Amino acid sequence: MGRPPFLFNVTVKSPIDIRMNENKFAKKIVCVGAGYVGGPTMVVIANKCPDYKVTVVDISEERINAWNSDELPIYEPGLKDRVDKARGKNLFFSTDIDRNIDEADIIFVSVHTPTKTFGEGAGKASDLQYIEQTARRIKENSTSSKIIVEKSTLPVRAAETMASILHSGANSVRFEILSNPEFMAEGTAIRDMEEPDRILIGSHDTVTGNAARDELLKIYLKWVPREKIITTNLWSSELSKLVANAFLAQRISSINSISALCEVTEADISEVAGAVGRDSRIGSKFLEAGVGFGGSCFRKDLLNLVYLCEYYKLDDVAKFWSSVVEINDNQMERFVNCILKTMFRTLVDKKITIFGFAFKPDTGDTRDSPAIYICKRLLEEKARLSITDPHAISNAKKDLTGIDGTAEFVENPYEAAKGAHCLALITGWSEYLSLDYQKIFDSMLKPAFIFDGRNHLDHQKLFEIGFNVYPIGRPPLTHI
């Protein structure tokens, strides 16, 4: 039988050769978790620090095999080129977690911290079971002292929990815990890591804590200017990540709330946002109205922040941040209701083509994507869905598995649009800007509708072709 496609062609080396090769590295870094954060982060570090051995470990053999293949498990612009450059040299992917933990000098913890779905804090608090499991595994397999770096987004003072586990029992091995939250946005993760706005490192203000901080500083100083590296205490670093995501989500919900007002007053949300954003105190970023935010972080971190505020009896603060989530959910429901109302208050057996399923362009990630909620609601109304996306079809199929209704998944957007009653654009992929909308219009049932959930397309041009166009926060352009 032939060699599996994900394996490298390697020459068998003697133990002496292997030891000599290992000794050429200044430090050995291990990242536990090969997902959207751990993978790209370690790829950049490996490229910027060729004298460090970087190994990404994960319990999923399927995921590790994908990292060792030409078909990476995640899509991110620029990622594959950098993997190809470093893989097999100083960048490695492995399922041998225990051995790599023991050999590591620095361990990044980048495991899943989803919102709890059970017990105390269900629906709000972070589920830390994977953090605890990882801490126990590190403790069990470490024969030398190590620096542990929190990369996962964690609630404030989570490092205390990890320290309690790592230092429990009779153990001469010592661990120093740092907080180093990621501020990468999917779709621009490589650029965000290589050209960051800031790097944040939280540590204990002790001799050993500062020494551990300085070791992590050495890594980032390979390519990040010192003035962009912020050092804080451990708790400030943990909270800063939650607050950063909460503020970004709050801006999105703020502009979306105003989009609803624009629609009933005939104001234009783009003009309002443009005028407001010119104020240097406010700025223009994250002021684009749409169907709502998604992704793995915003909702999870907001709910975690709400839970923390409730835990500390800060009820008014909790209500404020909870309203950000409520407005986001209402925005998705408004979009569905607009489709239902416009299409003569019935969607039964009508074909609706969904343009985009990923939570944002330039990623295949669909976690908490608005498309999930919107598609489920449209299926509840008995619509037939034809879903297309450049990179998220496989994830879309998983997200809608077991949902009653008719949904097909089509790679070609022209095929997806054939015979449709309307198009609903949910993800603002650049590919959708260059489509031949005259061709699409000609293939659809009439009257043909477009509901642009991201204000992404040229609405006047679409109207002139013959579409009835329904944007977010702007007056519709209709022929009926």
Identify the DSSP state of 115.
B
pLDDT digits (tens, 9 = 90+) for 335-345: 999 999 999 99
pLDDT digits (tens, 9 = 90+) for 443-479: 999 999 999 999 999 999 999 999 999 999 999 999 9
Token output for 325? 């989530």
Asked whether residue 364 carries a pLDDT value surpassing 50, the answer given is yes
Calculate mean pLDDT across residues 386-397.
97
Amino acid 172: pLDDT: 85
Amino acid 158: pLDDT: 80
* Dihedral sign of CA atoms 435, 436, 437, 439 in order: negative
Of 31, 162, 41, which Cα lies nearest the Cα of 101?
31
- 297 classed as catalytic: yes
Amino acid 161: pLDDT: 85
Rounded to the nearest 5°, which phi and psi values hold at 52? -110, 140
Amino acid 411: pLDDT: 97
Calculate mean pLDDT across residues 63-67.
98
- CB distance 388 to 411 below 8 Å: yes
Which position has the higher pLDDT, 7 or 231? 231
Amino acid 8: pLDDT: 34
Asked whether residue 1 carries a pLDDT value surpassing 50, the answer given is no
Could you give the percent of the chain with pLDDT greater than 90? 87
Amino acid 24: pLDDT: 85
Amino acid 17: pLDDT: 43
Calculate mean pLDDT across residues 311-318.
96
Amino acid 170: pLDDT: 76
In whole angstroms, give the CA distance from residue 434 to residue 429. 10
User: Following DSSP, what letter does each residue of 131-176 receive, concatenated?
Assistant: HHHHHHHHHHH-SS-EEEEE-S---TTHHHHHHHHHT-SS----EE
pLDDT digits (tens, 9 = 90+) for 127-152: 889 999 999 999 999 999 999 999 98
Is residue 113 exposed (0-12), middle (13-18) or buried (19+ Cβ within 10 Å)? buried
Amino acid 127: pLDDT: 87
Band (pLDDT 50/70/90 cuts) for residue 2 is very low
Amino acid 4: pLDDT: 37
Amino acid 18: pLDDT: 41
pLDDT digits (tens, 9 = 90+) for 269-314: 999 999 999 999 999 999 999 999 999 999 999 999 999 999 999 9
Among 31, 49, 262, 297, the one annotated catalytic: 297
Identify the residue whose tokens are 């043909």.
Answer: 448
pLDDT digits (tens, 9 = 90+) for 156-199: 778 888 999 999 887 789 999 999 999 999 899 999 999 999 99
pLDDT digits (tens, 9 = 90+) for 7-41: 333 334 444 444 445 678 999 999 999 999 999 99
